[in-house]
């Protein structure tokens, strides 16, 4: 059963090791979730890993405060098209879709966390190598960061940040992040970390948290 509140205090750091979490059933057969952050019931403000079994689907639904997702494995689909692994999609507040996956997929998804003035819908692909700006506006920056082996990462973090480790590892004084580990740091909490011996590939968001709907 999904918790109604998980890492709900946005003034505190939060770390979840997604690969070690159990898959929890959704209301639809074949769709399972690993919650990372959650405020609310079934229609929640949430950050999760979601897995679709081959041939599964989720009911058509709206996004009153937006949705963004990154396809980690397989091919995600909706009525607008197909999104293979490496696709980054933003559906703004007021959008709607009926998601499904014929071959199965795993996605990282953030629900109901857009700034109310963010109305841009985008779909882009992650680069094979190097740093990449995925999205930027007055409210947030989303980017892909590639760190070579043993490289140091230092950020003052004036806006607040989230990151998801896609490949490699990232180690700080009091944490160690592996693939699918998720971290949120509140405004003003600096990030000082070192990539592991295989380097690190990170999805990053720099933005102050919004209240959502």
Q: How far is CA 160 from CA 18, 42, 94, 157, in A?
A: 21, 26, 25, 6
What pLDDT score was predicted for residue 107?
Answer: 98
Count other Cβ atoms within 10 Å, centred on residue 146: 19
What pLDDT score was predicted for residue 212?
Answer: 42
What pLDDT score was predicted for residue 213?
Answer: 35
What pLDDT score was predicted for residue 177?
Answer: 98
Q: How far apart are CA 34 and CA 24, in angstroms?
A: 6
What pLDDT score was predicted for residue 210?
Answer: 62
What pLDDT score was predicted for residue 41?
Answer: 85
What pLDDT score was predicted for residue 59?
Answer: 87
What pLDDT score was predicted for residue 208?
Answer: 72
Q: How far apart are CA 35 and CA 70, in angstroms?
A: 15
Which pTM value belongs to this model? 0.95
Residue 202, H or E segment: strand 191-207
What pLDDT score was predicted for residue 2?
Answer: 84
Average pLDDT per 10 consecutive residues for the chain, totaling 213 residues: 92 97 95 96 91 95 93 96 97 93 98 92 95 95 97 95 98 97 96 98 87 42
Decide: 48 and 35 in contact? Cβ < 8 Å: yes
Q: What are 128-167's pLDDT values in tens digits?
A: 999 999 999 999 999 999 999 999 999 999 999 999 999 9
Within its chain, how far is the Cα of 194 from the centroid? 21
Phi, psi angle pair for 142, to nearest 5°: -125, 130
Half-sphere exposure of 132 (CA within 13 A, CB side): 14
Q: How far apart are CA 165 and CA 182, in angstroms?
A: 7
């Amino acid at each position: 059963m999904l918790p109604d509140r998980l890492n709900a205090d946005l003034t505190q750091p939060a770390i979840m090791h997604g690969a070690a979490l159990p898959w929890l059933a959704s209301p639809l057969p074949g769709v399972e979730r690993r919650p990372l952050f959650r405020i609310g019931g079934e229609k929640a403000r949430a950050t999760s890993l979601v897995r679709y079994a081959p041939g599964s689907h989720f009911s058509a639904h709206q996004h009153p405060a937006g949705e963004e997702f990154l396809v980690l494995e397989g091919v995600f689909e909706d009525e607008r098209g197909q999104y293979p692994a490496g696709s980054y999609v933003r559906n703004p507040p007021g959008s709607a879709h009926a998601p499904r996956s014929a071959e199965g997929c795993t996605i990282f998804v953030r629900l109901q966390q857009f700034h109310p003035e963010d109305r841009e819908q985008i779909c882009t692909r992650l680069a094979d190598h190097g740093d990449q700006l995925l999205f930027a506006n007055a409210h947030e920056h989303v980017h892909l960061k590639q760190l070579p082996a043993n490289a140091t990462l230092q950020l003052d973090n004036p806006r607040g940040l989230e990151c998801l480790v896609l490949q490699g590892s990232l180690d700080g004084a009091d944490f160690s992040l592996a693939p699918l580990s998720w971290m949120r740091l509140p405004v003003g909490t600096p990030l000082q970390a070192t990539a592991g011996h295989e380097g690190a590939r990170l999805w990053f968001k720099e933005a102050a948290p919004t209240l959502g709907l």
